[in-house]
Amino acid sequence: MEKLRLRVQVGLAALFNLGLVQWHFICFPVFNCHSCPISVFSCPLGVIGQFAGVGLVPLSVVGAVALAGLIGGRILCGWACPFGLFQDLLYKVPYVKFQIPSWTRFIKYGVFLGLVVAVPFFLSTSFPIYFCRLCPVATIESAIPWAIINGTTEVISLSIRLIVLFAVVILVMGHKRFFCKVLCPLGACLSVFNRFAAIFPERNSDCIDCGTCNKVCPMETEPDKNSFGVYDDRAEECITCLECHKKCPTKAIELWG
Amino acid sequence: MLRKCFFAILLILAVAGIVYGGFFRKLLVYDNLEKFDKLKDAGITIKIPGYDQTQNQLTVQSQWFTEPEAVNAMTFDGIGLYKDGRLISKFPDLRMLKGRRPCPT
């Protein structure tokens, strides 16, 4: 399953950055910068931020994110996101590993509401803490390539971007999928739909509560605890990587929700 | 049951948003005459094909953009907000926003 997921991730990362066409009027709800010289689709966060800057809501983009979330929750995080692939590969680098407190997962909701929506709406997209000006994906896929292609006079801006990228890389090397858990605003949007998604791993009656699924989960989900406490034991952080399905001793994890 | 109800409602809203935003919604965008004024101060006289006017006779032009066209323009920061709340092109020519990217330099 892990090899299949890796192949799908690599294939989709290549597809999103094919460079042969530019369909930026279509937004595919994964974390892939549309300022990348070879990007095919537009990034939902960049579009939402730009529209917030002019006081509008991009209904088609919000609808696309919602539809993706309703179909599979955060499955795109686990199977399609190029930055998720980047993080999975980075974590394999031998480095000091560390744990993070569970409350840090709420930071990403603040990142979305603050840096993606509020900053462009109340200030402007030119403001230094607008999310796209700090985004590590934009630094890798856009800022660095364009600085190489065209050169740049915005040394301070590029330096800040590189510092943020460096910090994220260090943190991702030390904690699995750190960015997804703590900072990703798109993950924050999609996580809301995990509770309603059509495709979602769930435990059936064969479960013997051995806890293997929780131990192998890269997102450290805790399906026994209702963190948002309303409906059932679905975990907001689950990216449907299916490690639990692979490792479950009684095959009690079913995919279709 | 409750989850299925929420799923159905959110699905309808999501599809409605995609259909309305993708096919029906229109946004009015004005061209950016301030850029032309700056060029005039620099002693540059230009004729814009399609406008059929010389520089000192320009009047503000505007076009209706579909939301996908606006999404595309937003990806290169092509649309801004003017002081009176109008959507305004950040490039002198509105045609630069429609399906064409300006030179990245």
Q: Which residues pair with A202 in a beta bridge?
A: A254
End-to-end CA distance of chain A: 19
CA angle centred on B4, ends A257 and B8, rounded to 5°: 115
- The span from the CA of B70 to the CA of B64, in Å, is 10
Residue type for position B37: D
pTM: 0.86
Taking CA atoms, A23 is separated from A75, A122, B14, B101, B102, in Å, by: 23, 29, 21, 11, 15
Q: Among A41, A54, A125, A150, pick the best mutation site for testing chain B contact (most B Cβ within 10 A).
A: A54
Domains of chain A by start residue, with CATH: 2-191 (no CATH), 199-256 (3.30.70.20)
Cβ within 8 Å of residue A77, ≥6 positions away: A84, A180, A184, A186, A187, A190, A239
Reported as a single tens digit per residue, the pLDDT across A169-188 is 999 999 999 999 999 999 99
Segments in chain A below pLDDT 50: 226-232
Q: How confident is the model at residue B105 (pLDDT cuts 50, 70, 90)?
A: very low
**B79 and A54 in contact by Cβ < 8 A?**
yes
Treating both helix axes as pointing N-terminal to C-terminal, what angle do A82-91 and A155-174 enclose, rounded to 10 degrees? Answer: 60
Which amino acid is residue B10, in one-letter code? L
Q: Summarize pLDDT for A103-122 with one digit per residue, the tens.
A: 898 999 999 999 999 999 99
pLDDT at B69: 92
Q: What distance in Å separates the CA atoms of residue A146 and residue B105, rounded to the nearest whole number? A: 9
Beta bridge partners of A199: A256
In this complex, do B75 and A42 lie within 8 Å of one another by their Cβ atoms? yes
Task: Give the rounded percent of residues in chain A with a pLDDT score beyond 90.
Answer: 47
Q: Is A21 on the interface with B (CB under 8 A)?
A: no
Q: Residues A27, B68: contact at Cβ < 8 Å? A: no
A39/chain B closest Cα distance in angstroms: 11
* Amino acid sitting at position A160: I
Query: For residues B87 and A238, what is the distance between their CA atoms, to the nearest angstrom?
Result: 39
pLDDT at A214: 81
Q: Is A191 on the interface with B (CB under 8 A)?
A: no
Q: Cβ–Cβ contacts within 10 Å for residue A146, how many? A: 17
- Phi first, then psi: what are they for B85, rounded to 5°? 90, 0
Q: Which burial class, exposed, middle or buried, applies to B104 when counting CB atoms under 10 A from its CB (0-12, 13-18, 19+)? A: exposed
Interface size between A and B, measured as CB pairs under 8 A: 102
Nearest to A196 among B7, B17, B67 (CB): B7
pLDDT of amino acid A18:
82
